[in-house]
């Protein structure tokens, strides 16, 4: 992506890491220079956020400079400062951050975790499928010292799911009710849990990963339910004809 100003004036070539300060690494200058550079960085972030939203068919951008300023998230920009006769272009953006999430495994066990999350990821249309996304992602993994299976991904597109499958062998995504996705390997080994688990004791409600709530066969939820007399009146049934299910059942559908 091109900008009105020279990208090469504010960013070195390669991968540039930004945080809430919006100050590019290696910046040296006075207060006026700082204001100038931060304004340009904000412009780059806003335009990349807009382009990413358009590419994903979103009505509003996930990434803006304003939001970054108020967060503890990280943005990695892929910069080619030699392109456009040395004016430079920004080719890609990857935003990460930790989020407090409830995540369900395949058994419906839920976990309260704060994993590193992939929040926004975009490579310019003219440069996709050339390995640049992998380059940016690998840099992030190395920088954040995380393996792909331990990441949660916010509303991944089909392209990103394909990307995770191709480069990291991650398939069969577990979609969560909060729109995040995790993969097998996200959860701790049973012998060595390193996150707080909830609802692990018999008799407690377990929320299923697919959004259904089910109950274990213990306690009052396991007891048979009496026929619903109002339902019988509406359907003109005698108590013996009731179709109302009893005992353990799906609570919501
Ligand atoms: N259709 C299907 N799969 C794709 C496509 C596509 N158009 N583009 C990339 N991929 C996947 C494929 O697995 C592809 O491998 P293949 O070419 O052998 O099929 C692989 O990614 C290519 O890997 P890279 O070249 O390293 O990835 P790329 O530079 O294209 O970056 C990215 C991947 C960021 C997903 C890019 O395609 C993109 O910006 N897409 C549009 C925006 C988007 O969907 N972003 C993710 C939103 S979800 C989120 O941000 C949390």
Give the whole-angstrom CA distance, residue 112 versus residue 103: 7
What is the pTM (predicted TM-score) of this model?
A: 0.80
- pLDDT at position 13: 82
Ligand 1: centre distance to CA 158 (Å): 8
Q: 49, 155, 125: which is closest to 94 by C-alpha?
A: 49
Q: Residue 2: its pLDDT value, please?
A: 82
Across the chain, mean pLDDT equals: 82
Lowest mean pLDDT among 3-12, 102-111, 179-188, 209-218: 209-218
Over pLDDT 90: what percentage of the chain? 68
Cα four-point dihedral sign 22, 101, 144, 1: negative
Residue 224's CB is within 10 A of a number of other CB atoms, namely 9
**Nearest atom of ligand 1 to the alpha carbon of 165:** 13
5 — pLDDT class (breaks 50, 70, 90): confident
CA atoms within 13 A on the CB side of 138: 8
| pLDDT attached to residue 192 | 53
pLDDT recorded at residue 206: 34
**CA 128/CA 162 separation, integer angstroms:** 13
Q: H-helix or E-strand containing 214?
A: strand 213-215
Q: What is the dihedral of CA 61, 67, 69, 71, to 10 degrees?
A: -120
CA separation (Å) from 75 to 62, 99, 208? 12, 15, 33
128-164 pLDDT, tens digit per residue, is: 999 999 999 999 999 999 999 999 999 999 999 999 9
137 Cα nearest atom in ligand 1: 26
Pocket of ligand 1 (CB under 6 A): 55-56, 118, 120-123, 128-134, 153-157, 159-160, 162-163, 166
């Amino acid at each position: 992506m091109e900008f009105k100003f020279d990208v090469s004036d504010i960013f070195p070539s390669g991968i540039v890491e930004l945080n809430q300060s919006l100050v590019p690494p290696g910046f040296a200058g006075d207060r006026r220079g700082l204001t100038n550079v931060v304004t340009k960085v904000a412009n780059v972030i806003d335009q990349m956020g807009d382009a990413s939203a358009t590419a994903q068919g979103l009505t509003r951008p996930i990434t803006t400079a304003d939001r970054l300023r108020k967060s503890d998230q990280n943005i990695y920009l892929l910069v080619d400062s030699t392109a456009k006769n040395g004016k430079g272009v920004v080719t890609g953006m990857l935003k990460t951050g930790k989020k407090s999430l409830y995540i369900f495994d395949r058994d419906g066990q839920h976990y309260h975790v704060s994993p590193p999350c992939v929040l926004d990821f975009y490579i310019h249309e003219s440069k996709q499928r050339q390995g640049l996304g992998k380059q940016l992602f690998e840099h992030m993994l190395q920088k954040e010292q995380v393996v792909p299976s331990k990441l949660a991904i916010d509303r991944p597109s089909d392209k990103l799911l394909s990307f995770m499958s191709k480069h990291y062998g991650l398939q069969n995504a577990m979609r969560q009710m909060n729109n995040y996705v995790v993969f097998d390997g996200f959860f701790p080994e049973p012998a060595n849990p390193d996150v707080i688990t909830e609802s692990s004791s018999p008799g407690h409600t377990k929320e299923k990963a697919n959004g259904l709530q089910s109950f274990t066969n213990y306690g009052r939820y396991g007891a048979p339910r009496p026929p619903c007399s109002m339902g019988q009146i509406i359907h003109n049934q005698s108590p013996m004809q009731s179709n109302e299910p009893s005992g353990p059942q799906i609570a919501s559908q």
